[in-house]
A and B are shown apart, each in its own frame.
Chain A
Amino acid sequence: MGLTTKLDAAVNWARKFSLFQYPFVTACCGMEFMSVAAPKYDIARFGAEFPRFSPRQADLLIIVGTITERQGPALRRIYEQMCEPKWVVAFGVCASTGGFYQNYSTMPGADQAIPVDVYIPGCPPRPEQVLDGLIMLQERIQRGEGHNQIVIANEKAAMNAQKLGIAYDVPATAIRPRIEASKG
């Protein structure tokens, strides 16, 4: 285990216990989100203490509720405005797949607009499920497998390869959202 690997592990360890959430609450799952954040289930115990209501201060986007086609671009922009590395959790079936809304106005899953790391099923999910999802995310963060962590690592590798004059193909990301990056 090299020194940089150890440093990365330490940084990732710090990251997984200092998540600052941005709750993108659009629907009734918000009640369950409040329950998770409130003292009884207390998401703060797991190192995701603070809901921040500005994407500038957040690195964990929690999509709580149905995302409509009209909201997609807004969600996309908020995602882009967040600090990096960032992670995304789809909270409930509506955010994951569109849930029981099978119609023209509802996006069949928030991953049509932005990449998603963890999907929490349930309509709405129990707070325990949310905490379980959070722990799963933390494991991914520790392993450096968050979607944004992978993007950053790939860019770093490409830059290093360029410095050394080696050809390096940046792997295509598995998640390709339908909505283009906003024009800024």
Chain B
Amino acid sequence: MTNNYLAAALMLLVGVGFALALTALAKYIGPRRPNKAKDVPYECGSDVIGSPRARFEVKFYQVAIVFLVFDIETAFLYPWALKYRDLSCSGAVDAGGVCSGAVSLFGLGEVFVFMGILVVALAYVWRKRAVGWE
């Protein structure tokens, strides 16, 4: 067990060491010929317009946050959809997808609860005027 870790540590050391060695070599023996153009940011040869530290509207942040809520919702719906057959059957489900027990509404109800909570969140952001772009 310890030996395995030793190999990993050695690998890490060699990897990092190699990168550092190459960087150091380039720094100390690489030729260096500075000029003015090399200090200019690369803009496909054009002149630089404005500062790279431009400001963005805070609305983008708002949209990003709201997007995250619905993105996660979608991400959770996929596993739910895959498990839906199992969740709607009180007994076992065979390979063909046929339910051996009674039909249960658990899966459907569960997702409605989940969506309900999200609708509350949507109502909240709607109220707060976070949806829309005025």
Partner among B31, B33, B40 whose Cβ is within 8 Å of the Cβ of A77 = B40
Main DSSP-derived SS at the A contact region: helix
Residues of A within 8 A of B39 (CB): 184
B56 within 8 A of A: no
A143 within 8 A of B: no
Main DSSP-derived SS at the B contact region: loop
Count B-side interface residues using an 8 Å CB cutoff. 12
Query: Please, which residue of chain B has its CB at the minimum distance from the CB of A183?
Result: B36
The stretch that binds B, out of A34-42, A78-86, A87-95, A122-130, is A78-86
**0/1 string, A56-91, CB within 8 A of B gives 1:** 100000000000000101111110110011000000
B38 within 8 A of A: yes
Q: Are A74 and B45 in touch, CB under 8 angstroms? A: yes
Count A-side interface residues using an 8 Å CB cutoff. 19
Residues of A within 8 A of B31 (CB): 84-85, 152
Partner among A71, A85, A152, A182 whose Cβ is within 8 Å of the Cβ of B37 = A182
- 10 tightest A-B CB contacts, nearest first: A184-B36, A74-B45, A80-B37, A78-B45, A77-B45, A84-B33, A81-B37, A184-B37, A81-B38, A77-B37
* Interface residues, chain A, with chain B CB atoms under 8 Å away: 54-56, 71, 73-78, 80-81, 84-85, 152, 181-184
